[in-house]
Amino acid sequence: MQGIGAAIAARLRESGAQVELWDVDGAPQVDVADYDSVVAATRRSLDKLGKIDVLVNNAGIAGPTMPVVDYPLADWRRVIDIDLNGPFYCCRAVVPHMVKAGYGRIVNIASIAGKEGNPNAAAYAAAKGGLIAFTKALGKELATSGVLVNCVTPAAAQTAILNQVTPDFAKFMLSKIPMGRFVKVEEIAALACWLASEDCSFSTAGVFDISGGRATY
């Protein structure tokens, strides 16, 4: 666990939460692109914690930086599997338990790319745009259940995911941010953890920008 996910987990722990990390590099390993793996992780977490109050869907990859006409089919599928199917699998597994308890907070970590698109990163933009729409749909489905669903759309952060793109593409993303810097993972964590809290009580199906002024709608 690193980057945005690690920052959110640390802040949740500081607030007194018991945190379970579902990570492909963890022990036990959890592959969010594999529904059976997610179901097994849900069962383990419930056995250990007794309930799940908060679900943060943060796992993601950038994929290669190249035009659509050259984009490898396997890479397209992998980005969609992790960045979009993963949150769907996690929500499908966890939501019934939250609904039964009458309480839950789901926070999906999307991206400003999902609203505005980035050239040569179509898979990532498509996955994050889909996650935004998924958030809106699920939030409306659960609006009267006590389970609130929101997403965060950060601009680029200085995390390991930047190592997956070319230096020129990183410069391009930075050039789009009016504040002239990448967002800090601690800033994203602060917003995500408010959305994960009881203080967030009348926001659902919402999209919360943290883009340094990049967002245009």
Q: What is the pLDDT of residue 215?
A: 86
- Alpha-carbon distance of 180 to 93, in angstroms, equals 40
65-94 pLDDT per residue, tens? 999 999 999 999 999 999 999 999 999 999
Q: Which residues are part of the catalytic machinery?
A: 124
Classify residue 215: in a domain, yes or no: no
Classify residue 106: in a domain, yes or no: yes
Q: What is the pLDDT of residue 170?
A: 85
Q: Residue 19 class from Cβ within 10 Å (0-12 exposed, 13-18 middle, 19+ buried)?
A: middle
Q: What is the pLDDT of residue 100?
A: 98
- Residue 153: CB atoms within 10 Å: 25
Classify residue 217: in a domain, yes or no: no
Classify residue 137: in a domain, yes or no: yes
Classify residue 117: in a domain, yes or no: yes
Q: What is the pLDDT of residue 173?
A: 86
Residue whose structure tokens are 């995390």 = 159
H runs (alpha helix) in 15-121:
35-49, 73-80, 86-101, 113-116
Cis preceding-peptide flag for 72 (omega within 30 of 0): no
170-202 pLDDT per residue, tens? 888 899 999 999 999 999 999 999 999 999 999
User: What is the domain-level CATH number for residue 51?
Assistant: 3.40.50.720
Classify residue 158: in a domain, yes or no: yes
Classify residue 105: in a domain, yes or no: yes
Q: What is the pLDDT of residue 98?
A: 98
CA 211 to chain centre: 15
Q: Count structural domains, the chain.
A: 1
Residues of the chain with pLDDT under 50: none
Q: Say what the pTM is.
A: 0.94
Which residues form the domain of 176? Answer: 3-210
Classify residue 81: in a domain, yes or no: yes
